């Protein structure tokens, strides 16, 4: 969970890491003009403003770790809307144990962020070299970041120990606090952060925690513990601030246009080894620059959730009569001709082909060569230029969202695309959810929030006046279904769907059954047991700390 007390050599390495963190958040170039930080001793740190910035930047840097937000997008594979290999394969079939590296990695990396935040909050208040304004801002950032790490701990593990001050691993022997205590601690940190954080920063500091980010996270925390009134109030506050939907959905996931009014908090990435993202590497194909691995792929369940452009539900049998009664072999023949199936993907929610490469659709890959997702795959070379991927024998969809086009990302494991943690569309949908849960039937405020997202996508507004129209949603239950669908398609590949199906307690219904190719052939079977609503406390933690009790079903 925590590092043991560092040696002098370890301290030197930590200072190198902290210096590196400067490049990751905020681009504080003036920090590079000082003496080499690997020559500093422990007693020389936490003295100057530069040290304080380095310490807080190290907390931001922790967010990029694989099991914090570095590979967060792969969590969709644990929802009904995606699947994959190498990541979460055992978790998809509920065949793991508390000894799994997935759980220990998540736990230790999140608590490392807590430890870094605690260190900053322990040292910064006593630093006389800081102006009051800078001191307050950095304390606000550290409190937000500590809350964000604890939010993730609560989301995945439930009740966890709360540590408010730095502690070495051998002394981390607290029992688990209750979920109520953890959520209250998160709320307290965020409430204090809200008072200290600015509304915005200069462009060079885009990506640092803001007042709006803290309010949104406090609302999200309330939503996750079903405190719908406070969640609604916080989201409504954010909705009155300067945030807005970016007019072009696709541009949200491109490096050139990612810093826009929709982004409330995101993980900052630059195209430099050690400071970039691996989304193209994990979600892209062999056609993507760098020859990528396609570890995660969208499921037919997700693709079929994208509505027709008139707002009616998509139905294969209405496009291709008798489709649902065909065998997998018959469908395989059908998909081998573009003219047979392309109409199934036309006149649909535009977010479908923005997010997913469907059969026979084109993709501009490495060296600006245009490829197409053909079935069956024949050759990536001329004249066919089929998209090659690590599932060539399987009839699968692949991601377009977050995947580099042409040569825009030269390093496959260090791409420049920021990863959104909270964006305004998410806030609108969470507001609609919280308010819909509180009142007897959806009202104008609920419709307004969800319809802003739909309108940006190019879909007709939901309404409660014309029962004959496909957009009719008059009851609380109707709106709940619409919110579930809208979150699935709007936030596809952003990692939140797994948390959604768990917090809604529907995972046992939607996460059990065959994982299919688009021909209907079974790839594997997904399993979700009641125990899987929470991850187990890593066995190494229970062995170390006898005060910790394991989650139900994992004993």
Burial class (CB in 10 A: 0-12, 13-18, 19+), 339: exposed
Neighbours of 236 (CB within 10 A): 17
Contacts of 285 (CB under 8 A, 6+ apart): 292, 294, 363, 365, 387, 388, 389, 398, 403
Burial class (CB in 10 A: 0-12, 13-18, 19+), 457: buried
What is the reported pLDDT for 381? Answer: 97
Task: List the beta strands (DSSP E) in 268-385.
Answer: 296-298, 356-357, 362-364, 370-372
d(CA 158, CA 494): 21
Neighbours of 131 (CB within 10 A): 9
Contacts of 437 (CB under 8 A, 6+ apart): 226, 228, 476
Place of tokens 């699947």: 83
pLDDT in tens, 77-109: 999 999 999 999 999 999 999 999 999 999 999
Whether the predicted pLDDT of 25 surpasses 90:
no
pLDDT in tens, 160-171: 999 999 999 889
Place of tokens 């969800």: 450
d(CA 4, CA 26): 29
Domains in the chain, CATH or no CATH each: 47-197+513-555 (1.25.40.390), 279-417 (no CATH)
Whether the predicted pLDDT of 531 surpasses 80:
yes
Q: pTM of the full predicted structure?
A: 0.93
Yes or no: say if 525 and 80 are a contact pair by the CB < 8 Å rule: no
Compute the mean pLDDT over every residue in the chain, rounded to the nearest whole number.
93
What is the reported pLDDT for 170? Answer: 86
Phi, psi of 375 (to 5 degrees): -135, 125
Phi, psi of 141 (to 5 degrees): -65, -45
Neighbours of 410 (CB within 10 A): 13
What is the reported pLDDT for 41? Answer: 53
pLDDT in tens, 388-399: 999 999 999 999
**Secondary structure letter of residue 68 according to DSSP:** I
Give the alpha-carbon dihedral of 435, 439, 442, 443, to 10 degrees: -90
Give the mean model confidence (pLDDT) for residues 294-301.
Answer: 98
Structure tokens at 2: 């925590």
User: By C-alpha distance, which of 342, 348, 275, 305 is closest to 492?
Assistant: 305
List Cα–Cα distances, 335 to 208, 319, 344, 395, in angstroms: 47, 13, 11, 9
Whether the predicted pLDDT of 444 surpasses 50:
yes
182: confidence class by pLDDT, cuts 50, 70, 90: very high
Q: By three-state DSSP, how is residue 446 classified? A: helix
Whether the predicted pLDDT of 219 surpasses 70:
yes
Give the mean model confidence (pLDDT) for residues 133-160.
Answer: 98
44: confidence class by pLDDT, cuts 50, 70, 90: confident
Beta-sheet pairing, 356-357 with 362-364: unpaired
Phi, psi of 124 (to 5 degrees): -60, -40
Whether the predicted pLDDT of 19 surpasses 70:
no
Whether the predicted pLDDT of 20 surpasses 90:
no
Q: By three-state DSSP, how is residue 295 classified? A: coil
Give me the percent of the chain exceeding a pLDDT of 70: 92
User: By C-alpha distance, which of 279, 352, 357, 256 is closest to 66?
Assistant: 279
Q: Which helix (H) or strand (E) holds 352?
A: helix 351-355
Give the mean model confidence (pLDDT) for residues 114-128.
Answer: 97
What is the reported pLDDT for 63? Answer: 98
467: confidence class by pLDDT, cuts 50, 70, 90: very high
Place of tokens 């003496």: 35
pLDDT in tens, 185-198: 999 999 999 999 99
Phi, psi of 523 (to 5 degrees): -85, -50
Give the mean model confidence (pLDDT) for residues 532-536.
Answer: 98
pLDDT in tens, 221-237: 999 999 999 999 999 99
What is the reported pLDDT for 321? Answer: 98
């Amino acid at each position: 969970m925590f590092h043991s007390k560092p040696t002098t050599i370890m301290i030197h390495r930590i200072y190198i890491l902290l210096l590196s963190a400067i490049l990751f958040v905020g681009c504080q170039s003036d920090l590079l003009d000082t003496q080499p930080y690997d020559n500093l001793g422990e007693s020389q740190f936490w003295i100057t403003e530069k040290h304080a910035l380095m310490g807080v930047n190290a907390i931001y840097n922790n967010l990029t770790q694989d099991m914090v937000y570095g590979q967060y997008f792969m969590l969709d594979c644990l929802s009904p809307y995606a699947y994959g290999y190498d990541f979460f394969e055992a978790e998809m079939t509920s065949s793991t144990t508390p000894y799994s590296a997935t759980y220990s990695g998540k736990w230790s990396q999140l608590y490392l962020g807590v430890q870094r935040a605690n260190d900053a909050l322990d040292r910064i208040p006593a630093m006389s070299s800081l102006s009051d304004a800078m001191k307050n801002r950095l304390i606000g950032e550290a409190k937000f970041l500590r809350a964000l790490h604890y939010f993730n701990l609560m989301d995945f593990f439930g009740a966890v120990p709360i540590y408010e001050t730095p502690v070495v691993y051998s002394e981390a022997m607290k029992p688990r606090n209750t979920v109520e205590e953890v959520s209250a601690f998160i709320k307290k940190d965020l409430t204090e952060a809200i008072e200290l954080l600015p509304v915005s920063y200069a462009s060079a500091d885009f990506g640092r925690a803001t007042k709006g980010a803290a309010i949104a996270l406090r609302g999200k925390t309330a939503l996750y513990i079903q405190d719908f009134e406070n969640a609604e109030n916080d989201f409504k506050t954010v909705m009155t601030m300067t945030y807005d939907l970016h007019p072009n959905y696709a541009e949200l996931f491109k490096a050139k246009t990612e810093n826009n009014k929709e982004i409330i908090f995101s993980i900052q990435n630059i195209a430099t080894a050690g400071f970039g993202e691996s989304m193209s590497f994990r979600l892209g194909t062999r056609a993507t620059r760098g020859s990528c691995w396609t570890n995660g792929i969208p499921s037919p369940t997700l693709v079929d959730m994208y509505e027709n452009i008139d707002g009616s539900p998509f139905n294969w049998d209405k496009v291709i009569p008798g489709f649902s009664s065909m065998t997998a072999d018959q469908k395989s023949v059908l998909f081998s001709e573009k003219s047979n199936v392309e109409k199934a993907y036309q006149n649909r929610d535009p977010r479908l082909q923005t997010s997913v490469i469907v059969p026979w659709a084109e993709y501009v890959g490495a060296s600006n060569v245009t490829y197409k997702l053909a079935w069956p795959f024949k050759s990536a070379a001329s004249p066919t230029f089929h998209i090659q991927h690590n599932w060539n024998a399987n009839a699968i969809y692949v991601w377009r969202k977050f995947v580099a086009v042409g040569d825009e990302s030269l390093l496959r494991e260090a791409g420049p695309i920021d990863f959104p943690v909270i964006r305004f569309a998410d806030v609108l949908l969470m507001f609609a959810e919280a308010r819909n849960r509180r009142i007897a039937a959806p009202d104008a405020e609920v419709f307004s929030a969800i319809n802003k997202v739909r309108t940006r996508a190019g879909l007709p507004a939901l309404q409660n006046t014309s029962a004959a129209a496909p957009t009719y949603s008059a009851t609380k239950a109707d709106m709940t279904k619409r919110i579930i669908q809208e979150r699935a398609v709007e936030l596809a590949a952003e990692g939140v769907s797994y948390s959604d199906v768990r917090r809604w307690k529907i995972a046992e219904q939607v996460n059990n059954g065959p994982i299919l190719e688009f021909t209907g052939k079974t790839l594997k079977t997904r399993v979700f047991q009641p125990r899987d609503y929470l991850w187990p406390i890593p066995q190494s933690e229970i062995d170390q700390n006898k005060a910790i009790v394991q989650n139900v079903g994992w004993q």
